[in-house]
Structure 1
Amino acid sequence: MVNLDLDESGEDAALTSDGATLALCTGKRVRNKTKAAETTGRGDSYVHLFDVARELRQSQSICTLERSKEGARVEVNRASFSPDGVYLAIARSDNSVHVYDARYMGRNVVHRYRHARPPAFEEQNHFGVVQLEWVHSTTRSAYNLLSGGEDGCVRMWTPGWTDSGNGRAIAKIDTDVGAFSVGDRNVGERDLVVGGSDGSVTVFDGLRDFIKVENDY
């Protein structure tokens, strides 16, 4: 067992497919004490990369996440490495997904993807993009990224693509996406199961035009 040296609150973690690199997403709120009360300030959110293959306690790199458009600290709902470990996708509480090149975490965001706001938006009842999953692609790209957000859509993104088709909704429900899972037909599973924030569960089939499901990840 290795104890990692951090003094922030953990929000999510992701491991590369070879088990060599751990991404640990953390948050740190700043508390401002006044005579009247103690309030929580903006703080920051971070991604630390650890070399767990060599059992190193200190992070090998650290990235401070961009704040929301309103300047608030974002929370990390989900982190996920691409199958080859090149990209690290971060599902954020501001209804967006930021994709980093995991080899150069200190640099800027490589890709920014955003879900739309729902028609009737109430900040306290929405949590942004809550789920990510990388899948094999049927196109020339090696893989695609699926994300589920507040617009009720599971959207498909292809890193590096800039055309209008990037971010196409491959499934839609009538409420926020709470979770989703891609299945494997070869073992009798359905293509896509989506859970809504209202407790609903919707099953989608016929997605092979968009994605190729494998057992590898």
Structure 2
Amino acid sequence: MLPLISKADEYYSLRNGKYLGADRAATTRLRLIEDSIFKRINDNYPESLAGAGRIIKIDQVQIQKDMQLVRDLSMKGKENQLYIILDLKEALITSLMSSPGTNSGAYFEYYPAPGLGANMPVGKDGRKMPFTIILAGVHGHPDSEQRFFMTLPTMSPDRDAVLAYNRQIPIYGIDAMSNTGLPGSRGRIHRANPDGSIDNNIGWTKGTNPSGFDIARDALQRWGKSGVPKM
């Protein structure tokens, strides 16, 4: 498991969302800042770092709604998916629904951005979304339509884990099998990590609750400390 700072404001690069460091604040805010400004303050006046940069907003309502939607739609037999994205210009983390895949998989769409060392999302017009990077991918796991095959409550080591490693982002899977409850109920979440490892049962979609797993913060923290995507 990736060690995470418990009590501090965390600072992320305005260039590509990578983790820069933390202050000694008693809060746990996520902040976006220019690399050069962070370095100058941290090197010379570290006690003045607290409060620098912009607070990253999280559109929890949209994200939680889309997470549940991915589970409910996937229960119909095809893997539906979304992306957790960071709008660098607006300092906003939100979700972006994507095209559904097949029963056995969903196609991960992205534009490589080697200059930034990041993956950029594809907009609804088929073009890359400027000033925006992908923090994570999320898809549902429906019942398998292959005879004698059963969908297990975990991530695929030869698909999900490989994708997470190559793109250096966390990939999340949501249980959408018929034995996991009716559409609208909460679904269990699993994660393939950028180092290729897998963590099961890390949280739930919201179901009928006000909210579910805080995937936005989790995705940013894991992307922030991962490596450079393979281009």
TM-score, normalised with respect to structure 2: 0.28
Q: Which has the higher contact order (CA 8 A, sep 6+)?
A: 2
User: Greater helix percent: which structure?
Assistant: 2
TM-score for both structures, normalised by structure 1: 0.29
